[in-house]
Structure 1
Amino acid sequence: MPDETRAVPRLTLVLGGARSGKSAHAEWLVSAQAGPWLYVATAQGWDDEMRERIALHRARRPPPWETVDAPRDLAGAIRRAPPGRPVLVDCLTLWLTNAMLDEEADLAAEVADLLAACAAAPGPLVLVSNEVGFGIVPENALARRFRDEAGRLHQRLATLADRVVLVVAGLPMTIKGETQ
């Protein structure tokens, strides 16, 4: 039975730092809706440490969660979601990293496609992303470009979003829209 006190608006953006609790909060939001729920994962298990992180995330999501891996075609995964099904995307900064490291990618076109898919999502959509703009200025050009691209992506998504939540130390703070 859905929890009316945790109704998910059409588009929610959940931001936070590493290990802030943002993914757990997003899962909590989505799980209040009638399942099954769709989890769109953008991570790739390139090494043992990342494979372990992915396994821990998957173990936290028993059925009725369905997982779709979309490290690159995030817009397509959102568009293919069954109408009305709550969708959680985790996380945008991993997707952005994957796109930036793909030398063939047209990042501006992919971001525009993602924004269009989010605006037309067929059901409640919760997006998780790392807020990377609170730290020091990165030392190298690629890291600075990543920080800047992430900041611009977050601003554009926040404009589209009905709700934006910042999670710090496991505490969600609603910075746009109604509190949950």
Structure 2
Amino acid sequence: MGKVILITGPARSGKSELAETLALESGKAVVYVATATENPNDQEWHQRIQQHQKRRPQDWVTLSVPVELSTTLADAKPNTCLLVDSLGTWVANLLEEDEISWENTLFELLETVEMVAADMIFVAEETGWGVVPAYPLGRTFRDRLGSLVRQLSRICEAVYLVTGGHVLNLSVLGSPLPAPKS
């Protein structure tokens, strides 16, 4: 298994910028795995995507992977660093899956991460620090992303929290909880 890093935090905190810095520091060829899809009718979304693209070095390869994340990770070459931005968008892209399908997708992703020889940096949003969403789909998103982040963090070499313009290395400052009981 390659080096696996998880970066989490609220919106506009600098998660992606930290991930980009760590990817550059890896010294490996970087493959940027974008889970978002462009919507030509949403100019603001297009501008956000362009902002991310402008920060990336020209020699980085970018893959658009809204759903098939496990397959993309499994195909990675050992001498690369994959930067997956973001898990929240990936979860949102799969919200239509029923619970059994989602659990299978999650299991497949976690199993794949443990088998890949490439380095991987995952960016994930923190969603559960506010009020409980008023709608079932919002609660499903929050719960699925929270569970994914918790389970992925158990197999990461480092977990960072970016908030308030600061980076905290949770792997140094804290200790992981035991695996949840099924």
Aligned residue identity for 1:27 = E
| Structure 1 counterpart of 2:153 | 158
How far is the alpha carbon of 1:36 from its aligned partner? 2.1
CA deviations on 1:124-144 (whole Å, 9 max, x unpaired) are: 111000011111111111101
| Structure 2 counterpart of 1:3 | none
Aligned counterpart for 1:173 among listed residues 152, 168, 177: 168
Contact conserved, 1:26 with 1:128, CA < 8 A, in 2?
A: yes
| Structure 2 counterpart of 1:109 | 104
How far is the alpha carbon of 1:169 from its aligned partner? 2.2
How far is the alpha carbon of 1:118 from its aligned partner? 1.1
TM-score (norm 2): 0.87
1:15 counterpart = 2:8:
yes
Pairwise CA RMSD of aligned residues?
1.9
**Cα distance in structure 1, aligned partners of 2:58 and 2:30:** 9
1:139 counterpart = 2:141:
no
Contact conserved, 2:78 with 2:119, CA < 8 A, in 1?
A: no
Stretches of structure 2 that go unaligned for 5 or more consecutive residues are 174-182
**Cα distance in structure 1, aligned partners of 2:66 and 2:109:** 13
Structure 1 residues 86 and 177, CA gap change in structure 2 (3 angstroms): farther
| Structure 2 counterpart of 1:64 | 59
Pairing 1:93-108 to 2, within 5 Å after superposition? 93-101=88-96, 106-108=101-103
**Cα distance in structure 2, aligned partners of 1:117 and 1:55:** 30
Task: Give the fraction of aligned pairs with identical amino acids, expressed as a percent.
Answer: 33
Q: Secondary structure at the match of 1:87?
A: strand
| Structure 1 runs, 4 residues or longer, greater than 4 Å off | none
Stretches of structure 1 that go unaligned for 5 or more consecutive residues are 1-8
Aligned residue identity for 1:49 = E
CA deviations on 1:34-68 (whole Å, 9 max, x unpaired) are: 23211100001132222221111111102221111
TM-score (norm 1): 0.88
| Structure 1 counterpart of 2:30 | 37
